[in-house]
């Protein structure tokens, strides 16, 4: 019979608890477009964001990293209507530092495009949807069910100062991320 007060048993219980907690709060940082920077799709790969979004499953606490030359591009988050019409006025969020990180903090649909006029019309845009169960589908121009709820708090957040290292993933298209508990 196992002695429930033994140091070995208590250590194993604590270790199992920590592993379970770590699995429950795992999150990843995805580089949008993988090896390519955020930019106008090339003629050789005009649906790069469509293909990218089809192969990534996102959830709350994951983050999207958009890399681009800040002197040549920017990133905006827009409503569904502005996404579909490529209307760049009144963005929900504007980022232009070339290393833009968007943290998924809520369920709902998120629409992104370049803030440079003409780029959206050339398919430099991305739509992701995070359903209520925590998993997500990512969509780009021709893949987009549902509308952005009017009350969805769609904004980037900054991680706090206390960080916990979370699960590593073996693929090269995303890295482990940090989440403030």
Is-above-0.85 flag for pTM? no
Residue 123: inside a domain: yes
Instruction: Give the per-residue pLDDT at 54.
Output: 77
Q: In tens digits, what is the pLDDT along the chain, a chain of 181 residues?
A: 677 788 887 777 676 766 554 545 578 899 998 777 899 999 998 888 888 777 788 899 999 999 999 999 999 999 999 999 999 999 999 999 999 999 999 998 899 999 999 999 999 999 888 877 645 455 444 433 333 333 333 333 333 222 222 322 323 333 444 444 3
Domain that holds residue 36: 28-159
Q: What is the count of structural domains for the chain? A: 1
Element (H, E) at 165: strand 164-165
Question: For position 135, which CATH number holds?
Answer: 2.60.40.420
Residues in contact with 78: Cβ distance below 8 Å, sequence separation at least 6, in sequence order:
87, 88, 91, 92, 111, 112, 113
Q: Which of 83, 124, 128, 102 is nearest to 31 (CA)?
A: 102
Task: Measure the CA–CA gap between 61 and 28, rounded to whole angstroms.
Answer: 8
Beta carbons within 10 angstroms of residue 77's beta carbon: 22
Residue 10: inside a domain: no
């Amino acid at each position: 019979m196992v002695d429930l007060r033994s140091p070995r048993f208590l250590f194993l219980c604590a270790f199992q608890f920590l592993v379970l907690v770590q699995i429950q709060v795992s999150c990843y940082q995805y580089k949008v477009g993988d090896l390519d920077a955020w930019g106008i799709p090339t003629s050789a790969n005009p649906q790069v964001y469509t293909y990218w979004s089809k192969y990534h499953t996102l959830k709350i606490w994951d983050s999207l990293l958009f890399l681009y030359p800040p002197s040549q591009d920017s990133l905006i988050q827009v409503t569904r209507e502005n996404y579909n019409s490529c209307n760049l006025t009144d963005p929900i969020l504007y980022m232009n530092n070339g290393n833009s990180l968007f943290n998924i903090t809520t369920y709902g649909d998120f629409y992104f495009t370049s803030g440079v006029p003409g780029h959206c019309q050339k398919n430099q845009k991305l739509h992701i949807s995070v359903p209520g169960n925590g998993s997500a589908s990512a969509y780009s121009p021709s893949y987009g069910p549902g509308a952005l709820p009017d009350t969805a708090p769609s904004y980037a957040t900054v991680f706090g100062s206390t960080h916990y290292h979370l699960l590593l993933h073996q693929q090269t298209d995303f890295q482990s991320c940090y989440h403030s508990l």
